[in-house]
A and B are shown apart, each in its own frame.
Chain A
Amino acid sequence: MKAILKREIKAYLNGVIGWLFIAVIIAFVGIYFTAYNLSAGYPYFSYTLTAVSFVFLIITPILTMRIMAEERKQKTDQLLLTAPVSVKNIVLGKFLAMLIIFFIPLLLFSFYPLLLLSFGEVPLAECYAAILGFFLYGAANIAIGLFISSITESQVIAAVLTFVVLFIGYMMTGICNLISQSGNFITKILSGFDMATQFRNLTIGVLDIRSIVYFLTVIGFCLFLTYQSIQKRRWS
């Protein structure tokens, strides 16, 4: 697993994709941070993170599209699957590599609340809970992208499909309202994929365990599906 993890991180940082991911996320958060927190003097960094959460729709596909699809296209999965490494470790190694790339901008963001501290009082606990939520939300999106990349050989299809799925997860509140204002059986099922609301739960000053468990479940489920899709290809 360590070998795969190291290779993927190197591949991201030697190429454009890793830096592009990091740059875009830092740029967007930077713009919103400047507008809301610095210019307007609003001390809640959580507000900025909520506003900027749409950025995942664009950057997650960039990060995840190649992770499995390219291996399959270049037939390098033949090396991984015939090496004495279990499929589980291949999936985990790849996922952790992407998380580490995602972690680089987060590390930078965790200084932002401290920066605000020099201008006055800041609700630090709430800010860091929101950063945790931002991390979990992003990680769940990356896990979904990983799974979608594992079902296709084409990076383009993987990227587009990931965008569509993440968009649905982002817009689910609106979609549910469209179906029924008061809520019914269908909206109840659909709201299971309402990721944006789960993220918002973590930004309003409450460390909602349910939302944390929700994101961990999504991540676990997607990793499991990725594992299954690789195994299935071996059998068919």
Chain B
Amino acid sequence: MIKVENLVKKYGDHIAVDHLSFQVEQGQIYGFLGPNGAGKSTTMNIITGYIAATSGEVTIDGFDIFKEPEAAKKCIGYLPELPPLYFDMTVWEYLIFVAELKGISKNKRIQQITDVMLKTQVDDVKDRLIKNLSKGYRQRVGFAQAILGNPKVIILDEPTVGLDPKQIIEIRDLIKKLSNNHTVILSSHILPEVSALCDTVMIIDHGKLVACDTPEQLSKLMSGANVLDLSVKGSKEDICKVIDSLPDITGYELKERDGSDYYDIIIKTEDKIDIREDIFYAFADRRMPIIKMQFETKSLEDVFLELTNDENKKEALNEGGEAEE
């Protein structure tokens, strides 16, 4: 559906997007994930034709966005970070204007606008001036604008920012529903949102694609060796003795819990071996109670941090140095 190849965008010396390549298939929800300034919005702005790329290619449904912009733009509905609203218009006037802009034929216009207003629940404010609307309503009007005209691809830049929890759930449901017959790309830095919504997550950092997979695969990919997390009551020597007596353990860490005689232990084992029973009996024999024991699974958050962290630190140091100068 969308093919991005070797996309580069430079602002002077600063490289915002660095040889980015990916493909988007029809009928799925894709999530762009990345820290601030990672190049998510820039990439979206290029795909939608708002800004041009320094080099590289973007094709939407077979149309090159640089060579056949109008045909390509017809396939896209876009909600930028800041909804592009005219404050001097009412919601209804605005949607009529967008419909005309998108070239929706006159006899379908009213029907389609009524349709998207119901979907985004803005029909009760349709005669109000946009400048008098709250942020949540403005966001929804922006959303209505994006899905007007049934574009094949819907691109949403942080669609749930500024909404209350109830609205967020509604918008998420709407995005889910849309994915039945649209391709949706959304960017976010809210991780639960991405893992709840998206079929595929693309993690972007410093303009580069660092990972692209389903949320489950990504968590699995990163967890690697089995890690057990447990808390045991007892003295340090005793605990070490017990653990040393157990087979298949590749390493462990001990940490005393403040103000109690509990120790938090992280045990690493060989892959795919479950030694929880062994641990239980070993400690039980010595009458040392285990109060917590569980496998550590990595959330998308950990994956995200792990993939983007090292470079972030370096960057932060660099920036700090520059600021001091």
Taking a contact as CB atoms under 8 Å apart, the answer to whether B76 and A82 are in contact is yes
A7, A74, A78: the one contacting B87 at CB < 8 Å is: A74
| Chain A residue at smallest Cβ distance from B80 | A78
Let me know if B100 and A234 touch, CB within 8 A: no
Judge whether A179 is part of the interface by a CB distance below 8 angstroms: no
The answer to whether A76 has its CB under 8 Å from any CB of chain B is yes
A177 CB–B CB distance under 8 Å:
no
Q: Which residues between 100 and 139 of chain B lie within 8 Å of chain A, taking CB atoms?
A: 100-103
- CB-based nearest A residue for B96: A3
| B50, A82: Cβ atoms closer than 8 Å | yes
Query: Is the CB of A119 closer than 8 A to any CB of chain B?
Result: no
Do B88 and A11 touch across chains, with their CB atoms under 8 A apart? yes
Which residue from chain A places its CB closest to the CB of B65 in the assembled complex? A82
A183-236 CB contacts (< 8 Å) to partner B: 234-236
B145 touches A79 (CB 8 A): yes
Query: Among residues 3 to 20 in chain A, which have CB atoms less than 8 Å away from a CB atom of chain B?
Result: 3-4, 6-7, 10-11, 14-15
Q: Report B111 CB to chain A, min CB distance, Å.
A: 18
Q: CB < 8 Å: which of B70, B71, B98 contacts A79? A: B98
A190 to B52, CA, bound (A): 36
In the complex, how many angstroms separate the beta carbon of B10 from the nearest chain A beta carbon?
Answer: 10
Known: A14-B88, A15-B88. A78 touches B50 (CB 8 A): yes
Number of A-B contacts (CB under 8 A): 70
Contact B52 A74 (CB under 8 A): no
Of the four ranges (under 10, 10 to 19, 20 to 34, 35 or more), the interface on chain B belongs to 20 to 34
Asked if A114 is at the interface (CB within 8 A of a chain B CB), the reply is no
**Chain A residues near B71 (CB, 8 Å)?**
84
Tell me whether A76 and B85 are in contact (CB under 8 A): yes
Knowing A14-B88, A74-B87, A76-B86, the reply to whether A234 touches B52 (Cβ < 8 A) is yes
Q: A11-B88, A76-B86, A234-B51 are in contact. Are A3 and B97 (CB under 8 A)?
A: yes
Residues of B within 8 A of A75 (CB): 80, 82, 84
Known contacts A81-B49, A82-B49, A234-B50: A2-B80 contact under CB 8 Å? no
B208 at the interface (CB under 8 A from A): no
Min CB distance B133 to A, Å, is 15
Main secondary structure on A side of the interface with B: helix
B192 within 8 A of A: no
Q: 0/1 per residue, B38-79, Cβ < 8 Å to A?
A: 000000010011111000000000000000011101101010
A86 within 8 A of B: yes
Q: Write the chain B residue with the least CB distance to A3.
A: B100
A80 close to B (CB within 8 Å): yes
Given the known interface contacts A74-B84, A85-B70, the answer about A7 and B97 at a Cβ–Cβ threshold of 8 Å is yes
- Which of A6, A76, A235 counts the most B-chain CB atoms under 10 A from its CB? A76
Min C-beta distance of B265 to chain A, whole Å: 53
CB distance B102 to A83 under 8 Å? Answer: yes
CA A5 – CA B82 in complex, angstroms? 24
Provided the pairs A3-B97, A3-B100, A11-B86 are in contact, do residues A84 and B51 lie with their beta carbons within 8 angstroms? no
Complex interface: chain B residues within 8 A of A80 (CB): 101
Of residues 39 through 94 on chain A, the ones whose CB sits less than 8 Å from some CB of chain B are 74-86
Q: Within the complex, which residue of B52, B78, B87 is in contact with A82, where a contact is CB–CB below 8 Å?
A: B78
- Closest Cβ–Cβ distance, residue B97 to chain A (whole Å): 5
A–B pairs, 10, beta carbons within 8 Å: A3-B97, A7-B86, A11-B89, A78-B84, A79-B84, A83-B101, A84-B70, A84-B102, A86-B69, A86-B70
Q: A10-B89, A82-B50 are in contact. List 11 more A-B contacts (CB 8 A).
A: A6-B97, A6-B100, A78-B45, A78-B50, A78-B78, A81-B50, A82-B73, A83-B101, A84-B69, A84-B73, A235-B51
